[in-house]
Structure 1
Amino acid sequence: MSASGGNGNRLLATLPAADLDLLGPELETVALNQDAVLARAGDEIDYVFFPHSGAITLMIDMADGSTVATGVVGREGAVGSLSVLGSSPSGITAVVRAVGTASRISAPRFHAAFGRSAAIRQAMQKHIRSMLIQFQLGSACNALHPVEARMARWLLQLRDRVDSDILPLTQQALSQILGVRRTTVTLLMRNLRTRGAIRSDQRGRIEIDRSRLSAAACECHRVMRLEAEEIFSDNMARSRAAALTDNPRISEIETDDAL
């Protein structure tokens, strides 16, 4: 582990330098190992993670042992950030589905910086809004759309975070994410292979055809992605405006360059 800034995390990248400095001394870079549990339902949240790469699913654990995913987080967001809403045990289990790295900060330290910085609070409000969109659309998708379309949507969401057509997933992991039996996943994979949406399905590795998988998915993936991009476009515009306000010379140089 080593000291780190917000390298690679889009949420941290929206912060002006002075506000990022409130977190910087406390951030450390950690590995996100396959199947690692970053937060467990019922436990207090010890750390907030800002992924640089990789993908983490947010899982709901039912009393009978079954599970279902409610959201996925990559370098656009954070895990454990909802703890700023109040001290309470985690309501979800966060599981690494694709390896990567993250900036990690203790929850108390993050809460202290959150209280001192309007920019950090604004960034977290945007992130929470993005997650709520995932939760709301995901709930509607689970209720209204066929399970094959839902599987295609989840594979695309994970692909967006991994930025590769090869996903490090087992059928068992997919059954946990979808909340269906392993035999159902096997049947769905066969159907998607027939349609050319999946090129190969080896143990722990699924290769997809993105365009054909998009055709098999419901509209929820596209809507979630567009909403997230809109949120980050707004965040980046605000950060840029703040930087120009703090450094008027930058504005002068850019004006000269434009002439």
Structure 2
Amino acid sequence: MKRHTSVGNRLLAGLPSADLCLLAPHLQQISLKRDAVLVRSGDRNEKVYFPHSGMISFMLDMPNGQTVATSVIGLEGAVGMLSVLGPSHSPTTAVVRVPGIASQISASRFHAAFGRSSGIKQAVQTHTRAVLMQLQHVAACNALHPVEARMARWLLHVHDRIDADAILLTQEALSELLGVRRTTVTLVMRKLRASGAVRSGRRGMVEIDRPRLEGAACECYKVMSCQYHQIFPAGDNEASQSGRTGR
């Protein structure tokens, strides 16, 4: 673990220098390991994480043991940031799906800086808008669209947050994202392979053909991308040049 030395997260990069200085001395850079659980549902948010790379999914745990993704974030968002708005117990489980790096800070230090900074308050508002937008569209998409279109949408969300066209996601991870059985994932991936939208290799490696995958996805993806552009205007920081989230 090392001290934070550069800004790669969009929320951090968008802060005025004076506001970032309230956080910078307390930020530590860590590795996000695949399948690592950053916080479990019902646990207190002890830390706030600002991803610089990789992808994290927020999973809702149902009483019958099933899990389903409610949203995902990459370098545009944070984990634990919304604890400043109310009770600090997490309503979801945050799981690293694509490894990367992040800056972390204790929740108590972040809350203290939040109370002193209008810039950090604005960043929390921006993050809240992005999360609520995603939650609303995911809920509608789950209710209205077939699983193949939803699979394509999730794969595009993942692709927006990585630097390669090859995505390492196991069938178990995909089944949890979609809230379906692994047998359903197998059938859906077979259809996407037949259309040329994806090519699956060994060990869960999924190589995508983005234009074809966009054609297989429901309209929710384009609507959400448009709204991300409105929430995170292009050119507002270094991350917007990467061509990932909100491309």
Distance 2:52 2:207 in 1: 22
1:50-65 correspondence to structure 2 within 5 Å: 50-65=50-65
1:157 aligns with 2:157: yes
* Deviation larger for 222-231 or 97-106: 222-231
Kindly name which structure, 1 or 2, has the bigger radius of gyration based on alpha carbons: 1
Q: TM-score, normalised by structure 1?
A: 0.89
* Deviation larger for 227-236 or 152-161: 227-236
| Contact residue 193 and residue 200 of structure 1 kept, 8 A | yes
Which letter does structure 2 place at the counterpart of 1:9? N
- Identify the residue that residue 224 of structure 1 maps to in structure 2: 224
Distance 1:163 1:226, change over 3 A: farther
| Contact residue 6 and residue 13 of structure 1 kept, 8 A | no
* Gapped regions of structure 2 (runs ≥ 5): 238-247
Distance 1:49 1:202 in 2: 31
- Identify the residue that residue 145 of structure 1 maps to in structure 2: 145
More helix by share: 1
| Contact residue 14 and residue 235 of structure 1 kept, 8 A | no
- Identify the residue that residue 45 of structure 1 maps to in structure 2: 45
SS in 1 for 2:69: strand
| Contact residue 175 and residue 182 of structure 1 kept, 8 A | yes
> How far did 1:221 drift?
1.3
- Identify the residue that residue 192 of structure 2 maps to in structure 1: 192
1:215 aligns with 2:215: yes
> How far did 1:234 drift?
8.3
Q: TM-score, normalised by structure 2?
A: 0.93
CA RMSD across the alignment? 1.4
SS in 2 for 1:161: coil
Distance 1:188 1:87 in 2: 39
Q: For residues 93-133 of structure 1, give each alpha carbon's deviation from its aligned partner in whole angstroms, at most 9, with x where no partner exists.
A: 00000010000000010011111000110111011101100
1:126 aligns with 2:126: yes
> How far did 1:228 drift?
1.4
> How far did 1:6 drift?
5.2
Distance 1:44 1:84 in 2: 12
* Gapped regions of structure 1 (runs ≥ 5): 238-259
* Deviation larger for 123-132 or 202-211: 202-211
Distance 1:96 1:6 in 2: 21
- Identify the residue that residue 68 of structure 1 maps to in structure 2: 68
Distance 2:55 2:88 in 1: 24
* Deviation larger for 2-11 or 38-47: 2-11
Q: Aligned pair count? A: 237
Distance 1:201 1:207 in 2: 8
SS in 2 for 1:137: helix
